[in-house]
Chains A and B, each alone.
Chain A
Amino acid sequence: MAIVSRGFRGRPRAGGDRLPPGQYLVEDFPVLSAGPTPRVPTDRWEFAIDTEEGETHRWSWQEFMALPQERPAVDIHCVTRWSKLDTHWEGVSLDVLFEDVESAAEYALVHSYGGYTTNLPVEDLLDGKAWIVHRFDGEELAPVHGGPARLLVPHLYFWKSAKWVRGIRLLNEDWPGFWETAGYHEYGDPWREQRYEGD
């Protein structure tokens, strides 16, 4: 009689196949910071995309809020190992912001009020993969979580989703950001556990 073993599968984890390797689930929303929380009034807020040719596209808060809004519901994964499922946001797709931007640059350096930076390939910002969000769970995004607006790139570790986002510089060469120059991975794919340089 043939015996078919199901083999070892390990203990089923909460979160199932939505939880990348080495992560655990949280219900709260941990705050990690590398500096004081900037307070940016929306009447002084602006967002800009600078191209490699020196062209700048700018949006005031009013102009930004007048753009078509989306409500992404996504899972987020922090490099410090917590993951949070089904987070609800509201904001503008980067596809909308890049609509009139003429650029052949492959790399983006995102910069924030307060001086934070992070880098990622331009293609990771496009095709419905990234947003500038200003609401979380139906409320205005709190300053400790990056309000008035933050980048949301849920398919990469959450340090790429820069809080207090101010602009994106498009570059022909990859330029590592704040954590990427201090040991963290260039790309940061949670499913490949790209936490540190060389992972």
Chain B
Amino acid sequence: MTADHLDGNALAGPLAELFAVDVTAATGRCASCGLAGPIAALHVYGPEPGLVGRCPGCEEVVLRLVRGPGSAWLDLRGALSLRVTLPE
């Protein structure tokens, strides 16, 4: 199948606008199938009307990000958790 999506690295710029850490390096766990992996490995559709990050295992939605004028909407319902590596 030809890739009709980008990989999760496409989320790095838009998410950097919201978060101090690089979220694409965090480990996310899919709420649908439980697969854990870096956000950068998501299958990303968009950017318009919004970025949709899907689990590379089950294709369910893990993350959605819509950037409107003056607001961004972030939906992480599809992620059970995000593990962010921080300095000790």
Contact = CB atoms under 8 A, between A and B. Distances in A.
Interface of A: 32-37, 79-80, 115, 159, 179, 181-184, 195-197
B interface: dominant SS = strand
18 contacts: A33-B4, A34-B49, A34-B52, A35-B45, A35-B52, A35-B59, A36-B5, A36-B54, A37-B4, A79-B49, A80-B48, A179-B49, A181-B75, A182-B64, A184-B49, A195-B68, A196-B66, A196-B68
Contacts of A159: 49
A92 B4 CA distance: 30
B61 interface: yes
A196 B69 contact: yes
A182 B59 contact: no
Given A37-B4, A182-B73, A183-B73, A32 B49 contact: yes
Interface of B: 4-5, 43, 45-46, 48-50, 52, 54, 59-61, 64, 66, 68-69, 71-73, 75
Q: Which of B46, B59, B68 neighbours the largest number of chain A CB atoms within 10 Å of its CB?
A: B68
From A34, A79, A80, residue with most partner B Cβ within 10 Å: A34
A34 B4 contact: no
A33 B48 CA distance: 8
Nearest to B69: A196
Contact of B50 (A36, A37, A179, A197): A179
Contacts of A34: 45-46, 49-50, 52, 61
A179 B81 CA distance: 22
A182 B4 contact: no
Contacts of B59: 35-36
B66 A182 contact: yes
A192 to B, nearest CB: 16
A33 B50 CA distance: 9
A196 B59 CA distance: 26
Contacts of A196: 66, 68-69, 71
Contacts of B49: 32, 34, 79-80, 159, 179, 184
